[in-house]
Amino acid sequence: MSLLVIGTVAFDAIETPFGKTDKIIGGAATFIALSATNFLKKANIVSVVGGDFPKEAMQMMRNHNINLDGLEIRENEKTFFWSGKYHNDMNTRDTLATELNVLATFNPKIPESYQDCEFLMLGNLAPAIQKQVINNLHHRPKLIVMDTMNFWMDIAMEELKETLKLVDVLSINDEEARQLSGEYSLVRAAKKILTMGPKYLIIKKGEHGALLFDDKSVFFAPALPLEDVFDPTGAGDTFAGGFIGYLAATKDISFENMKRAIIHGSAMASFCVEKFGTERLVDLTENEVQKRINEFVNLVQFDIAVVNA
C-alpha cells in the first residue's frame, strides 16, 4: 500500500565521542523513507531542499525506492541544516546550529499522484504544517502516524493539540510524553494522551526500548543491547519508518500487527545508531535485517504460557 512521508530532508553535522562529520545527509523524511523501504516497494516523500542539496543524494534516495515527485527544490535557497554534539552518555546533546533556510517558508504541496496514499507518516515538523498536509489530502488515509518533539510543546502547544485530534498514532519519547500530559508516570501519561485524539501511543525510551499503548493494552519492545551507540541521530525517525513501513507492507493495522511493526522499527533503529547519519541504512541487506529481527525475537522470547488465574 502506498506510503506518504512528510518531513525534513536536510544536512546534519554531528559530533559524538567517536568522531565528527562535515555536512552529511539527514532529515526526518530521509531516515523514515530509508527505513520504510526495507519492507515496502515505495515511499513517497513530500519535502523541500535548496539548490545546494546534492544530486547524488537524490539519486541514492531514488535507488532506495524513494519517490521524490513531492520534493520541492528551490535552486536559489539553502537546505535546512542542523548541527549537534552528543555528550558522553549519548542520551543528551547540545544543538550547535539550526539554520531553517528553505524550511522557514515550507508550504507542503501534495502531488496528485500521492493522493491515493493509505498510510501517512507525519515526520517532526511544525504541527500547523502537519495539519495542513492532512487537510490537503482528498481522502483521509487509513492510518496517520505523527511524530513531534518538545520544541513544539514549548512554542506551539495549542496547534499541536489541534493536530493531535486528527491522527491515529502518536510517537514521542518519554520526556515528551511527560511534558504533553503533565504526568510523571508513563502509564498515567499514556491514559491522558489517549484522550487527546490518538488511538495508539508509542513512547520511545531510547536504549530502554519502546511502549505501545491503546486504551486497553500495553506492549513493550526492548532496544537491542549494543556494545556501542555510535550516533543516535535519526534513530527515532528510523524507528517510525520501520513501524509504518511494516504496517503498510502487511496492510494490517490491528494492535497485534502494531506489536510486530514496533519490533521491526526497533530493529531498524538498532542499525541506524551503528554509524554516522544514514550511512548504515543505505548499505543494509535484506539478510542483515532478517538476522536482526531474529535477534529481537531471541532477546525477549520465553515460554511461559498464560494460564487462568
Q: Name the site residues for a second copy (rule: CB under 8 A).
A: 88-89, 184-188, 205, 208-209, 211, 217-222, 225-228, 256, 259-260, 263, 287-291, 293-294, 296-300, 302-307, 309
**Between 96 and 218, CB nearer to a second copy:** 218
**Between 104 and 304, CB nearer to a second copy:** 304
> Are the C-beta atoms of residues 31 and 18 closer than 8 Å to each other?
no
**Between 135 and 225, CB nearer to a second copy:** 225
Helix segments in the chain, DSSP class H = 28-36, 55-63, 127-135, 150-155, 157-164, 174-181, 186-193, 235-250, 255-272, 279-282, 286-300
The CA distance from 72 to 79, in Å, is 11
Q: How far is the CB of 66 from a second copy (least distance, A)?
A: 24
User: What are the residues whose beta carbons fall under 8 Å from the beta carbon of 214, sequence distance 6 or more?
Assistant: 194, 199, 200, 201, 255
**Between 125 and 190, CB nearer to a second copy:** 190
**Between 166 and 255, CB nearer to a second copy:** 255
Q: Specify the DSSP class assigned to residue 21.
A: -
The CA distance from 236 to 77, in Å, is 28
Element (H, E) at 285: none
**Between 2 and 181, CB nearer to a second copy:** 181
Q: How far is the CB of 272 from a second copy (least distance, A)?
A: 17
Q: How far is the CB of 250 from a second copy (least distance, A)?
A: 11
Residue 7 backbone class (left: φ over 0; alpha: ψ -120 to 50; beta: rest)? left
Q: How far is the CB of 172 from a second copy (least distance, A)?
A: 15
Question: What is the per-residue burial (b if ≥16 Cβ within 10 Å, else e) of 54-72?
Answer: eeebbebbeebebbbebbb
Output Rg (C-alpha) for the chain, integer angstroms. 18
Q: How far is the CB of 211 from a second copy (least distance, A)?
A: 6
